[in-house]
Every structure is written in structure tokens, then in C-alpha cells.
Amino acid sequence: MTPRDLLPIAGFAAAAALLPLFVTAGTWLNFMIFTLIICLAAQGWNILGGFGGQYSFGHAAFFGTAAYGTAILQLRYGVNPYPAFAAGIAAAAAVGWIIGVLAFRSGLRGSYFALVTLAFAEVFRVLANSAEVTGGAAGLLIKLDVRPENFQFESRANFYWIALALVTGALVLTRWLERSRLGAQLVAVRENESAARALGVDALSVKLSAITLSGAVTGAAGGLYAQYFLYLDANIAYGTWISVEALLAPIIGGAGTVFGPVLGGIILHSLAEFTKTLVGRIPGVDLVIFGALLILVVRFPPRDIPGLLKRWRR
């Protein structure tokens, strides 16, 4: 990784960091923070799905585990939110490793891997919906106590910068992965697993590293979500919506590229906001557009929006 590799990331971070100086309306900051959280979750999916070619339909398992971890450690054990956040991320990584060991050791790939990840997320959702420690169906409310040392801020802009810092960190991590030995092996496994193994790549351990990293990054998004909205229930934390969002953004923006998930996340949520102003708050309309977009980009190769634009220009 050379300084030149980091230049676009630094440029993006600098430009995005200036936004709150011009945009001060609460609703806009809210929108931008939410979009960044999605971008972070999507960046996590991208590590496993984009670079590794293992399509997970259940990234909610990681998002929710870190979200609940962050909330429960504060509420039930009085841990400070920052270490609670870190512990939540570690828990999500651990869940990633465990699901990885179970699924990859059994040789699940393709559709089977997608199905088993979906099933894991659903098991977590049902458990969280009925267990006592997660507050059951009523959910968990993190106590409002606005102090910076408590990971709660007076100004939304502070939260925006933290979210941006985490997204930037994930971008650097992905760039490092792209340039690293692990990343090269991961792409080799994606393109042709048997050939990669014949060349001496330990496919299992490569995929395990990827799903652990992936779980941690998507987990960071979950912890951030809990800390920002201060409320969680099973359908938010482990709901299919986040599994779908985490997958859609990289696919639309360009899976297996560093900026793909961020680009996809911004496109999707700008589009969602735009439709909302156009047709009003009809539930589901934004997702209809997401789904139609997904069908379109898959229907017309190359499979993402940057690719589509290139095709039109030709």
C-alpha cells in the first residue's frame, strides 16, 4: 500500500468532513449519518462478498450482535459505551468466525452459503425477540445521557464525523486488503477455488479471515446504529432489511472495489430520499426501486452502476 493508494480515500474523507459546515439542518445530518452507517455495513459485506465471492444473505447476524453487545454491556453491566462498542465489534467478529467455521468446513458455497447465513440471522432474530437479556419484543432503550465521554453528543455533526472516521477506516482497511497477500488469495478463491487450492492457497483459512473481518466491519455499523438511535429491537438489529441493504449497496456500486459500497450506499439512499419527496411517504416504494435497480444491474452486465455508465459512454 503506497501513499498514492490512500489519496482518493483522503480526498473523499476531507470533502465529506467539510459537509457539516454547510449542511446544518438536523434532518439532512440525520440522513447523512444513516447513509454512512449503511455504507459501513456494506463495506463489511464487500470484504466477504465482493472480494471473496461468498454471498451472505444474513449480515444482520453481525450488525445485530454488535448492536446488542454495545447496548447490553452499557445497560446491564454499566460498561462505558466506548469499550462496550469495541466489545460489540469483537462479538460480531467472533460470530463471523463461528458461522464461517460451520459453513465453510461443511463446504457450503453459492446459494447454500446464502441460505445458511440467512437462517443464522433468523435464529438470532427469533432468540432476541424472546430472550430476557435483549428486552424481548419490547426492545432496549439506551438511557439518554448526553456527554462526549458517554458516546452521546449535543451536536449531530460530532456523530457524523465519528461515522465518517469509521467509514474512512473501513476504506483504508479494504484498500490494504486489496493490496495484501490475503486479498490476492481471497480473489483467487473467488475466481476459482479449486485452482487456488491447487496453487497452495489455504482456502478455508482465507475465507475464515474474510468472514471475521467482514463481521467486525458490519458489526461496527451495528454498534454505531445502537449508539446513535439509542433504541434497538430484534426486527431492527437482526431484521432482513440490514442484510439486504448491506448486500445491495456493494452490488449496485461495484462489488469487490474499494469505493463500491460507499458509492452504492449514497446512490441508494439519495434515490430513496428523492422518491420520498416525489411521492410522499408511501411505505415500501423506496425498496421497490432498490429491487428494480438490483434486477436491472444484474440483467445488463457489467453488473454495477459504474459499469453501466461506462457502457453508455461507449
Partner 1 sequence: MRSYPPEIVAEAVLNGLLTGAVYGLVALGLTLVYGVLHIINFAHGALLTLAMYGAFVAWSVFGLDPYVAILPLVPIFFALGYGVQRFVIGPASRGDDSNILLVTLGLSIVLENGLLAIFRSDTLSVQVPYAMEVVELGPMLLGFPRVVGFGVAFLVALVLFVVLGMTDTGRAIRAVAKERTGAALVGIDVRHVYAVTFGIGTACLAVAACLLLPFFYVNPRVGNAFVLVAFTIVVLGGMGSVPGALLGGLFIGVVESLSGLYFGESLGQIGIFLIFILVLLFRPTGLFGAKA
Site of interaction with partner 1 (CB under 8 A)? 53, 55, 57, 102-103, 106, 108, 110-112, 114-116, 118-120, 122-123, 126-127, 129-130, 240, 244, 247, 251, 282-285, 287-288, 290-295, 298-299, 301, 303
Q: Are 70 and 227 in contact (CB under 8 A)?
A: yes
Nearer to partner 1 (CB atom), residue 82 or residue 112:
112
Nearer to partner 1 (CB atom), residue 1 or residue 126:
126
Nearer to partner 1 (CB atom), residue 165 or residue 295:
295
Nearer to partner 1 (CB atom), residue 1 or residue 298:
298
Alpha-carbon distance of 112 to 56, in angstroms, equals: 10
Nearer to partner 1 (CB atom), residue 82 or residue 300:
300
Nearest CA among 239, 223, 207, 10 for reference residue 121 = 239
Shortest approach of partner 1 to residue 142 CB, angstroms? 24
**Triad 273, 277, 279: Cα angle to 5°:** 110
Segment holding 268, helix H or strand E? helix 260-279
Shortest approach of partner 1 to residue 129 CB, angstroms? 6
Report in angstroms the alpha-carbon separations of 96 from 40, 71, 200, 252. 16, 19, 24, 24
Shortest approach of partner 1 to residue 295 CB, angstroms? 4
Phi, psi of 78 (to 5 degrees): 65, 25
Nearer to partner 1 (CB atom), residue 17 or residue 244:
244
Nearer to partner 1 (CB atom), residue 163 or residue 248:
248
Shortest approach of partner 1 to residue 286 CB, angstroms? 8
Alpha-carbon distance of 28 to 13, in angstroms, equals: 18
Q: Which residues contact 155 (CB under 8 A, 6 or more apart)?
A: none
Report the amino acid identity of residue 298: V
Shortest approach of partner 1 to residue 311 CB, angstroms? 15
Shortest approach of partner 1 to residue 258 CB, angstroms? 20
Alpha-carbon distance of 251 to 265, in angstroms, equals: 10
Shortest approach of partner 1 to residue 236 CB, angstroms? 15
**Triad 112, 211, 95: Cα angle to 5°:** 90
Indicate the SS3 state at residue 23.
Answer: coil
Alpha-carbon distance of 311 to 179, in angstroms, equals: 27
